[in-house]
Amino acid sequence: MTVIVLFCRKQFNMIDNKQLTDRFFSYITVDTESDPESNTTPSTEKQWDLANALVAELKRIGMEDVSIDENAYIMATLPSNIDKDVPVIGFVSHFDTSPDFSGANVNPKIVENYDGGDIVLNSEKNIVLSPSEFDDLLMYKGQTLITTDGNSLLGADDKAGIAEIVSAMEYLINNPEIKHGKVRVGFTPDEEIGRGAHKFDVEKFGADWAYTVDGSQVGELEYENFNAAAAVVTIQGKIVHPGYAKDKMVNSLYIATEFINSLPREETPERTEGREGFFHLHTVEGVVDSTKLQYIIRDHDRQKFEARKQTILDLASEMNAKYGKERITVELKDQYFNMREKIEPVMHIVDIAEEAMKQAGIKPLIKPIRGGTDGSQLSFMGLPCPNIFAGGHNFHGRYEYVPLESMQKAIEVIVNIIKETAK
């Protein structure tokens, strides 16, 4: 009788699950929400709390050249342990969380052996994380999920990335028989408000290339991102007593509504995918006398991106002509550009990451980012920097979650990239 034994690739954990969970929880329970209205770096004082803790942790695990500058940018070195010259590579993540949703009082929940059903995040408020709304949950049946309690975001974007980088460095320090070149790590503030790389010292970092660990689903590998701009549209009205308002009052709220409805309704985040661009209205503040609209403008194609910005300007001009006065002003500011043009000349760095994922039993998902990372700006600053997954889903809101197994896979991929680079 012939016996056939089938082997399945088991999850290989480079760090104990409890140690990884404890590390991740120690990060996400520190409020590091950034503030787009602030002119300081970091934009909020509370980001220093985690930044200083990270510096202490990097020193504790044995990293060298650990530094933090006056703007809270953190850098550290894992020295080479081989006697040949190999490229210096880096890994970058950000420690701020999005101002789109509260990052205070994060109270994470652990769902072990997820059964594929609904997860009640908050029974009092009837907040449920359901595969009927988020079908990607079904990819993680049988795994351990870390979720919110429904009252805040989780902060896996991008504290999962930080936990994975630190854990990978600790693993290599504790296993010196694994040969590797010099590795640099960098942690940044204010990525969520588009400033994460603004004061990053690329020359001091000293890497030939780097990877941001800031993606979502297991296997994501990205070297294209949106071109991005912010637009602040201010509408000036005129307030008088409503009882005497005939032919005198100008209600800025109505003009704002007209402006909003004049932009293509199908070109919004909730109705686009892939490389399709959009106009995203994310904030409205107004009274009769004055209303402010805040948009983000995104497109992968540079010409279409420029056309979108011009659409905003043209609409303001047309409506000003209609109302016979400059009631609408627009302030446009570019945020970052598509890094593809900077990565394609050095595509071997993407190939290395792809091979590292395959070695970890992961099918690489190479696709454009419908967003941006520090890497998009760093690439234009002379540090080519594609993006790899950190494992989380549903960022910037109460339904955010991350599978623990995905975090373990990210650690394995980081180590594999380092090993591949040293070959």
Sort strands 209-215 and 89-94 into parallel, antiparallel or unpaired.
parallel
Helix (H, G, I), strand (E, B) or coil at 91: strand
Tokens of 249: 């009052």
* Known catalytic membership, residue 96: yes
Topology of domain 17-225+338-421 in CATH is: Aminopeptidase (3.40.630)
CATH code at 227-336: 3.30.70.360
**DSSP string of 106-152?**
---EEE-S--SS-EEEETTTTEEE-TTT-GGGGGGTTS-EEE--SSS
Catalytic residue selected from 31, 35, 57, 96: 96
pTM listed for this prediction = 0.87
Q: What is the pLDDT of residue 372?
A: 77
Segments of the chain with pLDDT less than 50? 1-9
* pLDDT, tens only, 313-371: 999 999 999 998 999 999 999 988 999 999 999 999 999 999 999 999 999 999 888 88
Eight-class DSSP state of 270: G
Nearest to 100 by CA among 415, 400, 347, 420: 400
* Known catalytic membership, residue 191: yes
| Helix axes of 17-28 and 404-421: crossing angle, nearest 10 degrees | 100
Catalytic residue selected from 57, 158, 191, 400: 191
The C-alpha atoms of residue 327 and residue 252 are separated, in whole angstroms, by 9
For the chain, domain boundaries = 17-225+338-421, 227-336
Q: Looking at 108-266, list the stretches that DSSP marks H as alpha helix, in order from N- to C-terminal side.
A: 156-174, 202-205, 252-262
The C-alpha atoms of residue 201 and residue 112 are separated, in whole angstroms, by 41
Q: What is the pLDDT of residue 3?
A: 33
